[in-house]
Amino acid sequence: MKPIIIGNWKMKLNYQQSKTLAQELANLANPVDTSNNDIVVCPLHSAFLLVKEILKDSGIKMGVQDIFWEESGAFTGCESPKFLADAGCQYAIIGHSERRQYLGETNEWIHKKIKGALDNGIVPILCVGETFSERQQGLTDYIILNQVIKALSGIDLVAGEELVIAYEPVWVIGSGRAIDPAEAEQAFRVIRQAVIDLWPLTIVETNVRIIYGGSIDASNFREFIDLEYFAGFLVGGASLSSQEFWQIIKNI
Ligand code: PGA
């Protein structure tokens, strides 16, 4: 599958900065050739429509950093997958480690969110990864496998539905140092095996992209692009600089 490069803006930009970054990306894209890769940005929900409007002719696709599972109802503060899909959202990050860590996001919620996204035609970007202490205890493969299985078991990915799974070692996120690419490749294998156990190989090969996230920047991304099963990046910090993000996009 063609690689996907996703910018996770987190809660790091204010309104004006979001506008400026979107404008810079629109200028660089002009519009971008999407035959080589897919490019997605995930601003805050509150900046979604603003950024979408600026990027409307750029070829860059829109995503969000979280989503709720119900389409409508008395759920104060939640973001409906149906509403977002109608508003032009094509991707949703689900189960990011910062939400697991600070907001008590559980595997059960993550599973429901994946389902809610898929039911509304939104591509879930499921994030999985181990903490440093889990790695030290030799639990990396187990943690990844467990997170993938809990999120996806019982979901029947069918033709036409896509999924992105981002391996993001928690201890590497925002650290400025990416993981050893060989370790990322090992995680890709574990994830791939887990999804092969769930769905037919043809679906896995055409509809599931496994990507890496965690301190990727313009200086280190090349070390990952030839890894087996590599299909893209989830980029945090480096996606806040239009030039740096574009360096990565242009060279994949
Ligand atoms: P980082 O963030 O690139 O700043 O490490 C990645 C992520 O959290 O998605």
Of 87, 94, 103, 79, the residue nearest 124 (C-alpha): 94
Q: What are 5-34's pLDDT values in tens digits?
A: 999 999 999 999 999 999 999 999 999 988
The residues carrying an active-site annotation are 96, 168
H-run or E-run covering 155: none
Q: Which atom of ligand 1 is nearest to the CA of 8?
A: 9
Ligand 1 atom at minimum distance from 214 CA = 5
Q: Give the residue whose CA is nearest to atom 2 of ligand 1.
A: 236
Residue 37: both structure tokens together: 């890769």
Share of the chain above pLDDT 90, in %: 98
Mutate to test the pocket of ligand 1, among 65, 93, 125, 235 (most ligand atoms within 8 A of CB): 235
Q: Can you tell me whether residue 149 is helix, strand or coil?
A: helix
- 99, pLDDT greater than 90: yes
State the residue for tokens 């509150």: 46
Ligand 1 atom nearest to CA at 97 = 8
Opening angle at CA 120, ends 86 and 58, nearest 5: 50
From atom 9 of ligand 1, which residue's Cα is the shortest distance away?
Answer: 236
Task: Find the 117 Cα to ligand 1 centroid distance in Å.
Answer: 22
Question: Of all atoms in ligand 1, which is nearest to the CA of residue 175?
Answer: 5
In the reported structure, the alpha carbon of residue 9 is separated from the centroid of ligand 1 by a whole-number distance in angstroms of 9
Provide the mean pLDDT of the chain: 97
> How far, in Å, from the CA of 72 to the mean position of ligand 1?
31
Question: Best substitution site from 100, 165, 215 to test ligand 1's pocket, by max atoms within 8 Å of Cβ?
Answer: 215
Q: How far is the CA of 109 from the centre of ligand 1 (A)?
A: 22
Distance CA 49, CA 43 (A): 10
Render pLDDT for 49-87 as a digit per residue (tens, 0 to 9): 999 999 999 999 999 999 999 999 999 999 999 999 999
**What residues have CB less than 8 Å from 180, skipping those under 6 apart?**
none
Residue 220's pLDDT is 98
Instruction: Give nearest CA residue, ligand 1 atom 6.
Output: 236
Its pTM stands at: 0.98
- List, for residues 177-233, the tens digit of each pLDDT value: 999 999 999 999 999 999 999 999 999 999 999 999 999 999 999 999 999 999 999
Closest CA to 124 of 170, 185, 73, 81: 81
Kindly report the CA angle at 130 between 125 and 136, in degrees rounded to 5?
A: 165
The predicted structure's pLDDT at residue 182: 98
Rounded distance, CA 62 to CA 92, Å? 9
Give the confidence band of 1 by pLDDT, cuts at 50, 70, 90: confident
Per-residue pLDDT, 134: 98
Q: Where do we find the tokens 């994830």?
A: 191
Q: What is the mean pLDDT of residues 120-133?
A: 98
Ligand 1 shell residues, CB under 6 Å = 8, 168, 173-174, 213-216, 234-238
